[in-house]
Amino acid sequence: MIRSLRGMNDILSQDYERFEYFIDTASKIARRYGFHYIETPLLEETALFKRSVGESSDIVGKEMYQFTDKGGNDVCLRPEGTAGVVRAFIQNKLDKKGGIHRFFYHGPMFRYERPQKGRLREFHQFGVESFGVKSVFEDASMIMMISDIFNALKIGYTLKLNSLGDQNCMPEYRENLVKFLDLHVNEICSDCQRRKETNPIRVLDCKNESCQTLYAQAPKLFNNLCDSCKSDFDTLLKLLDENKIAYEIDTHLVRGLDYYSKSAFEFVSTEIGSQSAIAGGGRYDRLVEFLDGKETPAVGFAIGIERLLELIIMPQSRREGYYFGAMDDNALSTTMKAAQSRRSSEKVIIEYSAKSLKAHLKGADRVNARYCAVIGENELKDGTIWIKDLDKRSEKIISLDKFQELTCKKF
Ligand code: HAM
Q: How far apart are CA 280 and CA 53, in angstroms?
A: 14
Which of ligand 1's atoms lies nearest the C-alpha of 257?
3
From 249, 258, 328, select the one nearest 82 (Cα to Cα): 258
Distance 279 CA to ligand 1 centre (A): 6
pLDDT of residue 406: 67
**Is residue 67 within 8 Å of residue 179, measured between CB atoms?**
no
- Blockwise average pLDDT, block size 10, the chain, 411 residues: 97 88 97 98 98 93 97 98 98 97 98 96 98 98 98 96 95 93 94 91 90 93 92 98 97 92 96 94 98 98 95 83 96 95 91 97 94 96 96 94 68 50
**Is residue 357 within 8 Å of residue 387, measured between CB atoms?**
no
SS3 of residue 262 by DSSP: strand
Q: Is the CB of 349 under 6 A from ligand 1?
A: no
How much of the chain is helix, strand and coil, in % rounded to 5? 40, 20, 35
Pocket test for ligand 1, best of 5, 22, 257, 305 (most atoms within 8 A of CB): 257
CA 397 to chain centre: 44
SS3 of residue 64 by DSSP: coil
Distance 132 CA to ligand 1 centre (A): 23
Rg for the chain, CA atoms, rounded: 27
Q: How far apart are CA 213 and CA 364, in angstroms?
A: 59
* Nearest residue (CA) to ligand 1, atom 29: 301
Ranges of each domain in the chain: 13-169+225-311, 322-410
Distance 315 CA to ligand 1 centre (A): 26
Burial of 155 by CB count in 10 Å (0-12 exposed, 13-18 middle, 19+ buried)? buried
Q: Is the CB of 108 under 6 A from ligand 1?
A: no
DSSP 8-state class, residue 195? H
**Is residue 296 within 8 Å of residue 133, measured between CB atoms?**
no
The C-alpha angle 302, 238, 36, rounded to 5 degrees, equals 30
pLDDT of residue 207: 86
Distance 304 CA to ligand 1 centre (A): 6
**Is residue 279 within 8 Å of residue 253, measured between CB atoms?**
no
**Is residue 112 within 8 Å of residue 105, measured between CB atoms?**
no
293 φ, ψ to 5°?
A: -95, 180
pLDDT of residue 316: 75
pLDDT of residue 167: 93
The domain defined by 322-410 carries CATH number 3.40.50.10540: no
Report DSSP letters for 25-37, one per residue: HHHHHHHHTT-EE
pLDDT of residue 409: 46
Neighbours of 376 (CB within 10 A): 21
Q: What is the pTM of this model?
A: 0.88
CATH fold for domain 13-169+225-311: BirA Bifunctional Protein; domain 2 (3.30.930)
From 92, 93, 78, select the one nearest 48 (Cα to Cα): 78
Report DSSP letters for 270-334, one per residue: SSS-S--EEEEEEE-TTHHHHTTS----EEEEEEEHHHHHTT----S----SEEEEESSGGGHHH
Q: Is the CB of 139 under 6 A from ligand 1?
A: no
Handedness of CA 117, 309, 147, 41 (dihedral sign): positive
The single-letter code of the amino acid at 86 is V
